[in-house]
Amino acid sequence: MTPLAPSLSALVRLRAERPEAVAEAAARRKRRRLIRHPGDQLMIIAADHPARGALAVGGRSLAMANRFELLERLCLALSRPGVDGVLASADVLDDLLLLGALEGKVAMGSMNRGGLAGAAFELDDRFTGYRPEDLVRHGFDAGKLLLRIDHDDPGSLDTLHTAARTIDAMAAHRLPVFVEPFLCRRVDGRLRNDLGAAAVATSIAIASGLAGTSAYTWLKVPVTDDPDAMGRAMEASTLPAVLLGGEVGDDQDAAYGKWRDALRLPTVRGLVVGRSLLYPVDGDVARAVDTAVSLLQPGREGP
């Protein structure tokens, strides 16, 4: 990775001495359309995990705790051909703005980070991140919300209700919102997402029906445990969807194969992947990102 030490040192000074520089950088940022050409598939790098206290990558419990290293990895990933943008919380997007890494990129703000990893209140996932009006003020391009549903946890209902109203507010601003739904349950006190085809299809159906309009709703979905059932799960909705990367595993080639197959489904419009590309097992961020980009189906030139 290319060292960013001088830039990061300047970033720290700038944050302390000129906090208004964030708004100035947002105002002059070169923006772009979410989908630039008909048929394009998106490649978005996800980096909103730390704001929920989820710092682990594989067996490394604090892998994402070093913000300077994370920013270096993000800037490298964003510099690779075919990468469209980044999903992150406000602190990370502010850093990237000040580093000039968001020029011509999709900036997607993470909205609910209150369901802290491992907390008793994890499913009461409050909207502690971006509000719709914050995304508009910064000139950002989309928002993302997490929607985990456990039929045995009343906190899920609060999240469900707030998610619906947030989708309404995003639609009022004509801003796309990416909804990441899961059915989940607690096993030995820990929250586990159900990646079975039936659970994924059910979560997609629930998320698609939220709010007073679905015109600006996208889905952010996992690949099912059974790749052959992924097509059936995705038939639960006509909404455009992107695939999430999930946990880092030792067999990254197998993950690429699952993504490649799922990207051929008619409603799937790209990838939103974080840890498995930013912290690949072999340490080669550029190669991991380039391989993921190579799986995408390019669109055709259009107006």
pLDDT of residue 189 exceeding 80, the answer is yes
Expressed in angstroms, the distance from the first to the final Cα of the chain is 36
Burial class (CB in 10 A: 0-12, 13-18, 19+), 74: buried
Count the alpha carbons within 13 Å of 276 in the hemisphere toward its beta carbon.
22
The predicted structure's pLDDT at residue 241:
98
Percent of the chain with pLDDT over 70: 95
pLDDT of residue 204 exceeding 60, the answer is yes
The DSSP symbol for 239 reads S
The predicted structure's pLDDT at residue 276:
93
Looking at residues 39-44, what average pLDDT do you find? 96
pLDDT of residue 301 exceeding 60, the answer is no
Condensed to tens digits (0 to 9), the pLDDT of residues 122-164 reads 999 999 999 999 999 999 999 999 999 999 998 899 999 999 9
| CA angle, residues 153, 159, 165, in degrees to nearest 5 | 150
The predicted structure's pLDDT at residue 248:
61
Condensed to tens digits (0 to 9), the pLDDT of residues 1-31 reads 545 766 888 999 999 999 999 999 999 999 9
Looking at residues 195-213, what average pLDDT do you find? 97
pLDDT of residue 79 exceeding 80, the answer is yes
For residues 167 and 217, the answer to whether their CB atoms sit within 8 Å is yes
**Domains delineated in the chain:** 5-294 (3.20.20.70)
Instruction: Kindly report the average pLDDT of the chain as a whole number.
Output: 93
The predicted structure's pLDDT at residue 303:
32
The predicted structure's pLDDT at residue 302:
38
For residues 52 and 117, the answer to whether their CB atoms sit within 8 Å is yes
**Tokens 């003020």, residue?**
137
pLDDT category, 283, cuts 50, 70, 90?
Answer: very high
Condensed to tens digits (0 to 9), the pLDDT of residues 221-272 reads 999 878 789 999 999 999 999 999 877 666 788 889 999 999 999 999 999 9
Q: What is the pTM of this model?
A: 0.94
Condensed to tens digits (0 to 9), the pLDDT of residues 91-104 reads 999 999 999 999 99
The predicted structure's pLDDT at residue 245:
87
Q: Where are the beta strands (DSSP E) in the chain?
A: 42-47, 85-88, 106-110, 142-149, 177-187, 190-193, 217-221, 241-244, 268-273
Helix (H) or strand (E) holding 202: helix 197-208
